[in-house]
Structure 1
Amino acid sequence: MDKMITLSLSHEARKIYDDAWKANEKMLAPGGKLEDIKDWGGKRMGNILRVGGALHVSKYPGSYVKHEIDVDTIRSAVAIGDYLIPHAKVAYGLASENHDLQNAKRVLEWIRSNGLAEFTFNDCHRRFKSSMSTAQEISKVLKLLEERNYVREMKQLDKGVGRPSRFFQVNPMFLEGR
């Protein structure tokens, strides 16, 4: 049975890690590089330690492993963590885009199942307020559907008090199943 060991950072490696931690905190702050992916960014430093541990252990094949991670190893782990930032941003962007596409499919299903040739923004917002709670989310989905020619926003004359409702017309070819 393998014996468990505890790894620690050398004094110099600890300084490098602490500097990386401070830099990570700045990137998580509003306007920072990781602001939009805080879930991932918040776990980044723990992952850097795990990578550092794996790199360290890989240097010592066999049974003897030094218990202290050196400065070069932690620098390499931090570099790997830095390298992964753009990849995480792409992955989170794709996840967000996929979420918008799923919402768009749900709106299309609502249109089709109700045979809607036209609807207002408020109709859509009322129908989906539990899953798309903000008007901004609804707008994003309707813009996506408009870009793909499923719907088009119609100009509407101001007919009285208050803001005029946004009015959408459904592409008849979509309703016909083409």
Structure 2
Amino acid sequence: MAYDRRDRAIFGATSATTATHDVGLLVLRLVVGLTMAAHGTQKLFGWFDGPGFTATGKGFSMSGYPAGQAMAAIAGLSETLGGLGLALGFLTPLAGAALTGTFINVLAVRGLSTYFAPKGVELESVLFTAVVALTLTGPGRFSVDHLLPVLRESRPRYAVLGLVLGAVAGFVVLLIRD
């Protein structure tokens, strides 16, 4: 804790600044995490006017993935559990890994030729950037991870490892796509 106080003193951060920082991270985590969890439940259960599991599996098959149903399960679970983990600030590096792998595939399938809506990837790019930023900065004090000393003390190492794991998994899944 002494290091944190010295660091804050050097950069002029006050306890009010630190509190607003943590509240800002909480708001961002909740919006991005719950958005991703909702997308996952659209795939898995058809909630929120989503396509549901069977249609999502067919969509994966049409996009060149083998075993469309298995890919629908992987994508749906990655988005749902990764989104909930991000929203709660629970195992944030693993949540970031799950969502990173998902976004690599989303961007590859959608293509990068058009950025803006209706056929562009602007929303996906913003959400992916927010996931990377939250994984690297950490979830803040108002999170489950704050209660886990191993994640509080070694945040940079676990954050980078989580993003690398997600990128590797995402590219491996892309390699099996036709």
What TM-score comes out, normalization by structure 2 length?
0.25
Q: From the CA coordinates, give the structure whose radius of gyration is larger.
A: 1
The structure where helix makes up a greater share of residues is 2
The structure where strand makes up a greater share of residues is 1
What TM-score comes out, normalization by structure 1 length?
0.25
